[in-house]
Amino acid sequence: MDLVEFIGIIRKWKWMVLVVVVVVTAYLVVSVIRSPASYVAEAKVMPGLTQIASSNVAGVSLAQGGERVGDVYAELVTSQPVMQAALDKAGLGWPVERLRTLVSSSVAPNTPVIKIDVSDSDSQQAKLLANSVANAFVDYIKDASNSGAANAQGVVLKQLNDVNTQISAQNAKTQPDESMIKALQDRRDLIVKEYQDLLDQQANAADIRVVDPATTYSGSGMSGTQKVAIGLIISVVAGIVLAFVAEAVRKSWRPVP
């Protein structure tokens, strides 16, 4: 088949080629409108070194300890209070479940860094949500840790006060029980150490921060323009193929002389 015959067949069946192109292109345009392009923004959060160090146990490296802390924290990123606080920060009245479907969290290998990814059809909103989730998560960890530490400190301080009262009562006796006083003093030393540990834990709670806020975004999948362009090329090829099939069928139906 030469070029003239090739063009002749296309011209003869141009309506078929045109119909295929129009139908496929229209379908793709509608598909793009219904499923707009998606953008992903990422923010990174890291627990402080004091938290990582305090999580270590014998036989566990610092990197492993940090990754373990990150794994625990990553599970909390999509918790109800974090999601609701993030929506409040972003000024959105969405249901929590809607935001949860857009958020994913993971831990960078051998690090404590928590990566928070948010996808959205609006690139700027993806960045806003990623930063809102990251900041809401940091606030949640700090508040929860501080609240728990404060309650525990109250209990320990009461125990310390009770022990001091007992020591004072023994010392006030005419014949104080020295062994009892020694036992109470040892107990007081343990309580003081426990209280100091709680203060350290409270300091650790504040040692979590957003280390890399979302300032950029990336596209997820093909853009609408790319989809339409590729679809247009495929539809033209498909139309030409159908034109040649139709021409072959037409010739096969010719009456035999």
Q: Is residue 81 within 8 Å of residue 147, measured between CB atoms?
A: no
Higher model confidence: residue 110 or residue 23?
A: 23
pLDDT at 170: 84
Q: Is residue 99 within 8 Å of residue 119, measured between CB atoms?
A: no
DSSP string, 73-135: HHHHTTSHHHHHHHHHHHT----HHHHHTTEEEEE-TTS-PEEEEEEESSHHHHHHHHHHHHH
pLDDT at 126: 92
Exposed e or buried b for every residue in 82-118, given b needs 16+ CB within 10 A? bbbbbbebbeeeeeeeebbebbbbebeeeebbbbbbb
Mean pLDDT across the stretch 92-115? 89
Q: How far apart are CA 45 and CA 137, in angstroms?
A: 9
pLDDT at 150: 63
Q: Rounded to the nearest 5°, which phi and psi values hold at 120?
A: -160, 155
pLDDT at 75: 82
Q: Does the pLDDT value for residue 12 go beyond 60?
A: yes
For 49-63, 159-173, 199-213, which range has the lowest pLDDT when averaged over its residues? Answer: 49-63
Write down the domain spans for the chain.
1-36+221-252, 38-220
> Which two tokens mark 82?
């974090």
Q: Does the pLDDT value for residue 59 go beyond 60?
A: no
Cα–Cα separations (whole angstroms), residue 96 to 79, 80, 87, 110, 115: 9, 7, 8, 31, 20
pLDDT at 118: 94
What average pLDDT is seen over the chain? 79
pLDDT at 108: 78
42: which strand partners?
A: 117
Higher model confidence: residue 252 or residue 117?
A: 117
Q: CB under 8 Å, gap of 24 or more: what pairs does 72-76 form?
A: 73/45, 73/47, 73/114, 73/137, 73/141, 74/105, 74/106, 74/107, 74/114, 76/137, 76/140, 76/141
Q: Does the pLDDT value for residue 136 go beyond 70?
A: yes
Mean pLDDT across the stretch 180-198? 83
Q: Which residues contact 164 (CB under 8 A, 6 or more apart)?
A: 188
pLDDT at 96: 94
Confidence of residue 54 (pLDDT cuts 50, 70, 90): very low
CB atoms near residue 158 (< 10 Å) = 11
